[in-house]
Every structure is written in C-alpha cells, then in structure tokens.
Amino acid sequence: MANAETLTTNRAIRPATVLAATDLALLTTSIPGALTSPTQAVGLEARVTLYPGRPIRPGDLGPPALVDRNQLVEIIYRTDALTIRTEGRALDRGAAGDRVRVMNLASRTTISGVVSDAGFIIVSPFGSSS
C-alpha cells in the first residue's frame, strides 16, 4: 500500500495571504477531503487562518483578490454601442468573477458589479443597482 500525503502549512497563515511553496509542508498521512500536493495551493489565497499540522481543504483557499475594500477602481458600464467609464470606490474585496459593491464617486450611488480579470468593475445593464 502506498503512503498518501496531506498538505499543511509550516507556519500559521492569515486570511488574504497568497501561498508560496515555502509556506507549505506535507504530512505522511491521508486525510479525506484534504489537498495532497503543493501545486494545488501555490498562488491561491487563504480564505481562513491556516495552522501548521492541520490539513488544507479546497474551501480554505481561493483565487487572489484583485480589488480591496476602499480601493479606487474603474467602473465600466457597457452595452452594444455605449461604454461608460467612471471612477468608484470598492465597498467589498473580491477576486476575478466575484460580485462586489462599489460606490460611483460622481453620483455617490452604490451599485454592484463583477470584478474583471484586469481588476475593473463591470456593471451590467440590468439589475446592477443595490
């Protein structure tokens, strides 16, 4: 029977920390549902505090945030022939694909949009107000 390994950390990792290979260690035991390889975690962000010796589960990690709370961001509203760009302030923290609230600085209106891969907030034509 082959030895299975379970991924853990070699120190306490706070939420919002992006994991590097030097942060990770392997336990020589198999824990169901835990990650088993550093390649599954390197470059991802801790969503919860990770402790050494405890297994890392898939839900403990996620893509790194591109937008931080209170960060100035560009809001883009786009329809077929119209594109509007304005400056806003993020009211939430989010990674690419996450829905976040953002305040339009010109109108002081709070709207919701999706974080793009480039860190812009894309507002859709329907259902974007909150």
Question: pLDDT of 48-104, one tens digit each?
Answer: 999 999 999 999 999 999 999 999 999 999 888 899 999 999 999 999 999 999 999
pLDDT > 90: percent of the chain: 87
Whether the predicted pLDDT of 130 surpasses 50: no
SS3 call for 58: helix
Q: How confident is the model at residue 1 (pLDDT cuts 50, 70, 90)?
A: very low
Provide the token pair at 25. 């260690």
Q: How confident is the model at residue 126 (pLDDT cuts 50, 70, 90)?
A: low
Q: What structural domains does the chain harbor?
A: 6-62 (3.90.1210.10), 66-123 (2.30.30.760)
Whether the predicted pLDDT of 129 surpasses 90: no
Bridge partners, residue 52, by sequence: 9
Q: What is the pTM of this model?
A: 0.75
Give CA–CA dist 127/102, Å, rounded: 14
Provide the token pair at 58. 């898939």
SS3 content of the chain, % helix, strand, coil (to 5): 5, 40, 55
- Strand ranges, E, within 4-125: 6-9, 24-27, 45-46, 61-62, 65-67, 72-78, 83-90, 94-95, 99-104, 110-115, 121-123
